[in-house]
């Protein structure tokens, strides 16, 4: 699947909070919907679970799309194998134990694994800001 983009939860959250509020930029959310219907944009079910915990407009928006093409499952064999490789790499890395635990306990490794299994691109706002908390 070339040309597919998988969104991290922070992309949706920051869009809602800062750049593309629902009440001001409904066309942005419509564009996301259009791209999801084309199969070029999606996310994964663990991201759905992170965002759906809330009670705001974004959580309502994702809940309305739970059964659509928006949130892809991660229980397929290719994603599971990729996750296994990612988890092994993380556990054998030089990162601090807490950083390893933090990474593996959220949707992030699943998002990367799904991207690997599909040949997709992950879209996120995350960046490494301070190596002191990550590197042993």
β-pairing, 41-44 vs 5-7, is parallel
Distance CA 118, CA 4 (A): 8
Q: Is residue 50 part of a domain?
A: yes
User: Does the pLDDT of residue 60 top 90, yes or no?
Assistant: yes
Predicted confidence (pLDDT) at residue 63 exceeds the cutoff of 60: yes
134 is a domain residue: no
**What whole-number distance in Å separates Cα of residue 100 and Cα of residue 40?**
30
Q: With 50 as the cut, is the pLDDT of residue 136 above it?
A: no
Containing structural domain, residue 72:
5-124
CATH number where 119 lies? 3.40.50.1010
Instruction: Work out the mean pLDDT of the chain and round it to a whole number.
Output: 90
- Condensed to tens digits (0 to 9), the pLDDT of residues 112-131 reads 999 999 999 999 987 664 44
Q: Higher pLDDT residue, 56 or 133?
A: 56
Question: First vs last Cα of the chain: how many Å apart?
Answer: 37
Q: How buried is 122 (Cβ within 10 angstroms: 0-12 exposed, 13-18 middle, 19+ buried)?
A: middle
Summarised one tens digit per residue, pLDDT across range 72-104 is: 999 999 999 999 999 999 999 988 999 899 999
Q: H helices within 1-136, ranges in order?
A: 9-14, 26-38, 45-52, 57-63, 77-91, 97-104, 108-118
Q: Which of 113, 106, 126, 133 is nearest to 11 (CA)?
A: 126
* Tally of domains in the chain: 1
Q: Please check whether residue 43 lies inside any domain of the structure.
A: yes
Compute the average pLDDT of residues 55-76: 94
136 or 26, which is more confident: 26
In a domain, 129, yes or no: no
Q: What is the pLDDT of residue 131?
A: 44
């Amino acid at each position: 699947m070339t040309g597919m983009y998988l969104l991290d939860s922070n992309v949706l959250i920051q869009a809602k909070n800062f750049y593309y509020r629902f009440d001001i930029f409904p066309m942005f959310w419509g564009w996301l919907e259009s791209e999801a219907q084309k199969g070029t944009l999606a996310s994964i079910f663990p991201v759905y679970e992170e965002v759906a915990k809330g009670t705001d407009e974004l959580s309502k928006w994702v809940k309305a799309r739970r059964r659509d093409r928006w949130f892809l499952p991660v229980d397929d064999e290719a994603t599971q194998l990729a996750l296994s490789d990612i988890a092994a790499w993380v556990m054998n890395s030089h990162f601090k134990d807490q950083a390893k635990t933090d990474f593996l306990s959220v949707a992030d490794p699943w998002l990367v694994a799904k991207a690997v299994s599909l040949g997709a691109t992950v879209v996120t706002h995350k960046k490494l800001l301070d190596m002191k908390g990550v590197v042993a």
